[in-house]
Structure 1
């Protein structure tokens, strides 16, 4: 079997523009088939190019593989596209989440589309966990984006998900693909972008009412956060159907080709675990707590990474809120417990119990005082709570929202997309949030 793999020069391209695709193979010719992810993957195009061999590089430097230029058709709809590489044509439907011979490409609109929803693909987080070339942001402070991986097509760090073993956690297929399938299957039209686009100041001024993120959006640059905050302050809404969001700060190379993240305290010995360390230069919460934007932080929650966990759900604190419309839930009911909705990582806020017996934020961690806690899930003691400042309350996943100029909703658990297809109450809440905020 002839080996083949590749990567795009950047993770996104406007419809109608040229993208540079880097591919290495010893075959004299190879094929590329493009599929747009939606309710089901849809074949959108095919090209053939001459092959050229190249050797793998290191994790921290541009691999500089042979380049092929592809002009994306102007009529391609904005979305996530998977490029499937092969040396022999096939009529079989390929597995799109392969650990090799796949490239992820986000097509953004050629001009503002008039749609109200913009979905953010977390390519920085995908690349942080990619281990192609022998390293990731869990073993080094720098990685290149110009190597196989970044959502599909490369090996990733992390333990398997006992609730969904069909794909690794830190990949497009695991969190984003099911969420996008649900959106498009329910007639929710949106455009798509990457965090690199938002870092560069693209798209948020194009008339969108709602920015959506789902699953695991852990790595943010200061520019991405500043631009998203400005979007909120101008009246834009944010729906975060995930957790561990904006936990690490990254610096992006001027050409958009690499990420730096200083996780380890100065003078830390080799083998130090950054998740168990304080004084980490690029911990957002130690520098500028992400609570101020998102209402919650991973430091107020926790993680359970290995194996099945005690099933947890959110205890509903105000069933009369519009978020719960049509769910049938009553105050005191528990959302999603049977399917272990809370985990594998979740976010929370420092809280106290008010005179009515409801949790409300204290604000000591930067959470806005008007953040409404709509669901809460206190976490068991066997979860991971490394590197957190002392709190007077028990750590808990905290579902809720607040309004500044725009409204910010958080589902506070990475596993929200996993239940969309099977839990009608999770589905109803998702529809309520997107419909209202868009």
Structure 2
């Protein structure tokens, strides 16, 4: 793989995973070894000839856990150039409801759907819960492109998944496999339920879609970060889309870039028996859930894009006594708008005009418009989180803990200044002294970790916890690597597991 291709992939994916570009974590049925160079999880991009790369790939290893999983064979991941099999569906459905899968099969052959629920399941990471019969496949029409907005809303429904009332709410993945067993792709979705629970887990589907470059074909795909010009060159934000559609598959393997951070938390939390309900960020935006009915809201992964209704709902929940747990960094950075799609279905278009227009206060995205940095609108993230985005971390560095007398660090064995290796990674937050803080009755900075940015300038990361006047705790980890430390092989840290348990246990006991 040439250096040019490596740079192209890194910029195109904006790889914020701790070890692998997709940040998927250990999802056994997805991690066919024919997709990776080595055990660090470096994925072979779509433009690499897999035949030439075979000498770099590790041999498959048989484990007792693997032998207990469904024998799915070794199909290769579908890509966006060949489009061997790709699909999408609504991001969430209710127990007792249904989910319509829209699938395009390149050769028009039949395909199957295997459905998995994410969880601990004895370390397997997921459980196989349903399988389709062979489904007739068809070559769907090419995506529609309006400006740089790509949509597949006109695809025909291929198969309807009925969701039984006895299923558990949670995060699910539909695995699509061609009948010849040569290619595979994925559709993630959430199953909701109107149930009481201690904690509500909110999956960041708005942010996932902002990063979605589908189709990653060197021609038509676009995200809020990138698009291609007529020569197949990847453009940055100045040439990216300002509106993207939820009505399209995810690029590459069919999974969002940062989905593994959520899965890391889910596996750990379900292993230890926390009482969880599940929903998506779009559910929060649309008012389909009442966040005030839970003791805590958990934001498990990168959650950068927030609409005004999302922020208002979370602020109201905090003020009513619902605690907030932010396990990543660069949260609530951009304000976005959600609008109806081409068929009139609500909240299918995501708009964020970003820096292209924010310099003009009177233009689109300027002061008084809806789609710029929250801090530029006079509502910095720190007003809610207690800290806010500081920048990217080029290489993982240790987190240096502080205030270890605090109950959050109880039982971890940590002392002030102790390092937790590699825990500051991807991106970081810190306290900004010149930015107003939220109202609080108590507040603690739990880490202060120096690092150097890409230009060699000294920076630092901080972890924050405060208690709002209404009794809610608000925790912000200030790093991408916190969730992987809970349940990702090679990154798991028992001290971070214990600190997170201390936090959730305290929240679940708050009256």
Structure 2 length normalisation: TM-score?
Answer: 0.68
Query: How many angstroms apart in 2 are the aligned matches of 1:83 and 1:234?
Result: 37
1:147 and 2:267 correspond:
no
Q: Which residue of 1 aligns with 2:436?
A: 366
Q: 1:185 aligns with which of 271, 274, 281?
A: 271
CA contact (8 A) 1:242 1:413 kept: yes
The 1:434–1:285 alpha-carbon spacing in structure 2 relative to 1, beyond 3 Å, is same
Report the Cα offset of residue 200 of structure 1.
0.7
Q: 1:106 aligns with which of 172, 186, 190?
A: 190
Q: Which residue of 2 aligns with 1:3?
A: 84
CA contact (8 A) 1:130 1:150 kept: yes
Q: 2:212 aligns with which of 130, 138, 145?
A: 130
CA contact (8 A) 1:210 1:238 kept: yes
Q: Which residue of 2 aligns with 1:29?
A: 110
Q: Which residue of 2 aligns with 1:286?
A: 376
Q: Secondary structure at the match of 2:258?
A: coil
The 1:136–1:237 alpha-carbon spacing in structure 2 relative to 1, beyond 3 Å, is same
Query: How many angstroms apart in 1 are the aligned matches of 2:507 and 2:322?
Result: 9
Query: How many angstroms apart in 1 are the aligned matches of 2:409 and 2:295?
Result: 21
Q: Once the two structures are superposed, what CA deviation does each residue of 1:111-133 show, in whole Å capped at 9, x if it has no partner? A: 32x21111010111111111003
Q: 1:229 aligns with which of 301, 315, 319?
A: 315
Q: Once the two structures are superposed, what CA deviation does each residue of 1:331-383 show, in whole Å capped at 9, x if it has no partner? A: x23241x2x111211111124xxxxxxxxxxxx31223646233232433435
Q: Which residue of 2 aligns with 1:413?
A: 479
Query: How many angstroms apart in 1 are the aligned matches of 2:418 and 2:439?
Result: 25
Query: How many angstroms apart in 2 are the aligned matches of 1:231 and 1:35?
Result: 32
RMSD: 2.9
Aligned residues: 378
Q: Which residue of 1 aligns with 2:69?
A: none
Query: How many angstroms apart in 1 are the aligned matches of 2:273 and 2:419?
Result: 25
The 1:281–1:72 alpha-carbon spacing in structure 2 relative to 1, beyond 3 Å, is closer
Report the Cα offset of residue 413 of structure 1.
0.9
The 1:142–1:50 alpha-carbon spacing in structure 2 relative to 1, beyond 3 Å, is same
The 1:385–1:181 alpha-carbon spacing in structure 2 relative to 1, beyond 3 Å, is farther
Q: Which residue of 1 aligns with 2:410?
A: 325
Query: How many angstroms apart in 2 are the aligned matches of 1:268 and 1:55?
Result: 39
Q: Which residue of 2 aligns with 1:334?
A: 418
1:212 and 2:305 correspond:
no
Unaligned runs of at least 5 residues, structure 2: 1-74, 76-82, 216-220, 226-239, 341-345
1:259 and 2:350 correspond:
yes
Report the Cα offset of residue 385 of structure 1.
11
Query: How many angstroms apart in 2 are the aligned matches of 1:152 and 1:232?
Result: 37
Report the Cα offset of residue 28 of structure 1.
4.0
CA contact (8 A) 1:314 1:342 kept: no
Report the Cα offset of residue 7 of structure 1.
0.3
Query: How many angstroms apart in 1 are the aligned matches of 2:401 and 2:109?
Result: 60
